[in-house]
Amino acid sequence: MSKITVVVCDHIHQSGLDLLAADPMIEMINAADEPKDKLVTEIIPLADVTITRSSTDVDEKFLEYATKTKAIVRAGVGVDNVDIDGCSKRGIVVMNVPTANTIAAVELTMTHMLSCVRQFPYAHNNLKLDRVWRRQDWYGTELKDKKLGIIGFGNIGSRVGIRCKAFEMDVIAYDPYIDPTKATNLDIGYTTKFDDILDCDIITIHTPKNTETVGMIGKAEIARMKDGVILINCARGGLYDEEALLEGLKSGKIAMAGIDVFNKEPATDHPMLDLNNVTVTPHLGANTKESQRNIAIQAAEQAIDAAKGIAYPNALNLPIKENELPDYVRPFLELVQKMGHLSAQVTKNTVKSIKVTAKGDIGNYIESLGTFATVGVLAESLGDQINYVNAEFVAKERGIEIDKVVVPNTSGFTNKIKIKLTTQNSTITIAGTVFDESVQRIIEIDDYDLDVEPKGNMIFFRNTDTPGVIGDVGHIIAGENLNISDFRLGRDQKGQALAVVRVDGKITKEVIQKLSELKACISVSYANI
pLDDT at 411: 83
* Residue positions annotated with a catalytic role: 236, 265, 283
**Concatenated DSSP letters for 161-225?**
HHHHHHTT-EEEEE-TTS-THHHHTTT-EEES-HHHHHTSSEEEE----STTTTT-B-HHHHHHS
**pLDDT tens digits, 166-184:** 999 999 999 988 889 999 9
Domain 4-100+290-308 CATH (choose: 3.40.50.10140, 3.40.50.720, 1.10.10.2160, 1.10.287.610): 3.40.50.720
pLDDT at 319: 58
CATH 3.30.450.40 at 325-453, yes or no: no
pLDDT at 56: 94
pLDDT at 2: 83
Residues (pLDDT < 50) of the chain are none
CA angle, residues 383, 389, 390, in degrees to nearest 5: 60
**Closest C-alpha among 339, 324, 405 to residue 372:** 339
Within 8 A by CB and 6+ apart from 268, the residues are none
CA angle, residues 177, 295, 261, in degrees to nearest 5: 60
Q: Where are the beta strands (DSSP E) in 272-311?
A: 278-280
pLDDT at 321: 52
Domain 102-280 CATH (choose: 3.40.50.2000, 3.40.50.720, 3.40.50.1100, 3.40.50.150): 3.40.50.720
pLDDT at 175: 93
CATH 3.30.70.260 at 455-529, yes or no: yes
Q: Where are the beta strands (DSSP E) in 289-438?
A: 351-359, 401-407, 416-423, 427-435
pLDDT at 57: 94
Domains 325-453 and 455-529 share a fold: no
**Closest C-alpha among 221, 264, 255 to residue 240:** 221
What phi-psi label fits residue 314: left (phi over 0), alpha (psi between -120 and 50 degrees) or beta?
left
Instruction: Parse the chain into domains and list their residue ranges.
Output: 4-100+290-308, 102-280, 325-453, 455-529
**Closest C-alpha among 107, 86, 84, 104 to residue 94:** 84
What phi-psi label fits residue 252: left (phi over 0), alpha (psi between -120 and 50 degrees) or beta?
left
pLDDT at 442: 97
CA angle, residues 383, 389, 395, in degrees to nearest 5: 65
**Closest C-alpha among 508, 501, 505, 518 to residue 460:** 501
Angle between helices 509-516 and 469-479 (to 10 degrees): 150
Evaluate if pTM is beyond 0.85: no
